[in-house]
């Protein structure tokens, strides 16, 4: 598998994730409460900029194109494995969340607190998957633009996660604090 093929495989993994997201939009419950617009727009701007840096060829010049790691076929393949694993984990989490999912921090009609599947390991497993996939892509490509993109994606998800935590605490005042005690936000046993 040459460099172009690894790059293509990474692109296909992200495309599969995107298709699951788009397809799932038709099956979400009605929103009854959502995060304020300001944090939503800020988080979206950060995420969009981060994903553009990570996956677009627009920034392959200047210091953005500098490599932060010396090219290695093994690192490139490890990055591919992390990208695919992260996308698959995010897809599993998205499918487990089902009709409770939303692209923004919301509470849905008849919202359920999902604590099974990947939600038994992390409170925000979609973000765990996205960050793993983004780190894998950055590792495979190895350019500074990818590190900048990963940093912006991480910041965007932290902002969104804080909004979601607030809404879940309000919606499930007994069950969510207990869930928070049992399950870490992103990385089982650590964070």
Q: Summarize pLDDT for 118-143 with one digit per residue, the tens.
A: 999 999 999 999 999 999 999 999 99
Q: What is the 3-state secondary structure (H, E, C) of the chain?
A: CCHHHHHHHHHHHHHHHHHHHHHHHHHCCCEEEECCHHHHHHHHHHHHHHHHHHHCCCCCCHHHHCECCCCCHHHHHHHHHHHHHHHHHHHHHHHHHHHHCCCCCEEECCCCCCCCHHHHCCCCHHHHHHHHHHHHHHHHHCEHHHHHHHHHHHHHHHHHHHHHHHHHHHHCCCHHHHHHHHCCCCCCCCC
CA distance 104 to 164: 8
Identify which of 122, 150, 166 has the alpha carbon closest to the alpha carbon of residue 47: 150
The CATH number given to 3-182 is: 1.20.120.1630
> Is residue 2 pLDDT above 70, yes or no?
no
**pTM for the predicted model, two decimal places:** 0.91
Q: For position 40, what pLDDT does the model report?
A: 84
Handedness of CA 169, 41, 87, 95 (dihedral sign): positive
The upper half-sphere exposure of residue 177, i.e. CA atoms within 13 Å in the direction of its Cβ, equals: 3
Q: Summarize pLDDT for 170-185 with one digit per residue, the tens.
A: 999 999 999 999 999 9
Distances from the Cα of 75 to the Cα of 59, 81, 135, 138, angstroms = 21, 10, 12, 10
| Region label for 37, one of left (φ > 0), alpha (ψ between -120 and 50) or beta (otherwise) | alpha
> Is residue 1 pLDDT above 50, yes or no?
no
Instruction: For residue 114, name the pLDDT band (cuts at 50, 70, 90).
Output: very high
Average pLDDT over residues 84-92: 97
Residues β-bridged to residue 45: none
Q: For position 4, what pLDDT does the model report?
A: 58
Q: b vs e for 62-95, b when ≥16 Cβ sit within 10 Å of the residue's Cβ?
A: eebeeeeeeeeeeebeebbebbbebbbbbbbbbe
Q: Summarize pLDDT for 31-76 with one digit per residue, the tens.
A: 888 877 788 889 899 999 999 999 887 877 777 777 888 888 999 9
Going from N- to C-terminal start, the domains of the chain cover 3-182
Average pLDDT over residues 5-30: 90
- Percent of the chain predicted with pLDDT > 90: 63
| Contact (Cβ atoms closer than 8 angstroms) between residue 85 and residue 96 | no
């Amino acid at each position: 598998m040459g460099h172009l093929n690894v790059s293509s495989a990474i692109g296909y993994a992200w495309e599969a994730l995107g298709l699951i997201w788009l397809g799932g939009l038709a099956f979400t419950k009605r929103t009854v409460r959502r995060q304020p617009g300001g944090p939503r727009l800020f988080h979206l701007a950060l995420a969009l900029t981060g994903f553009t840096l990570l996956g677009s060829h627009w920034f392959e010049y200047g210091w953005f194109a500098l490599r932060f790691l010396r090219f290695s076929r093994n690192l490139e393949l490890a990055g591919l494995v992390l990208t695919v694993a992260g996308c698959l984990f995010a897809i599993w989490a998205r499918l487990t969340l089902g009709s409770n999912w939303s692209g923004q921090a919301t509470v849905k009609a008849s919202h359920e607190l999902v604590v099974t599947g990947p939600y038994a390991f992390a409170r925000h497993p979609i973000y765990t998957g996205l960050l793993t996939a983004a780190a894998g892509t950055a590792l495979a490509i190895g350019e500074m633009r990818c590190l900048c993109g990963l940093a912006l994606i991480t910041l965007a998800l932290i902002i969104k996660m804080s909004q979601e935590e607030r809404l879940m605490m309000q919606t499930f005042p007994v069950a969510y604090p207990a869930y928070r005690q049992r399950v870490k936000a992103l990385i089982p046993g650590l964070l």
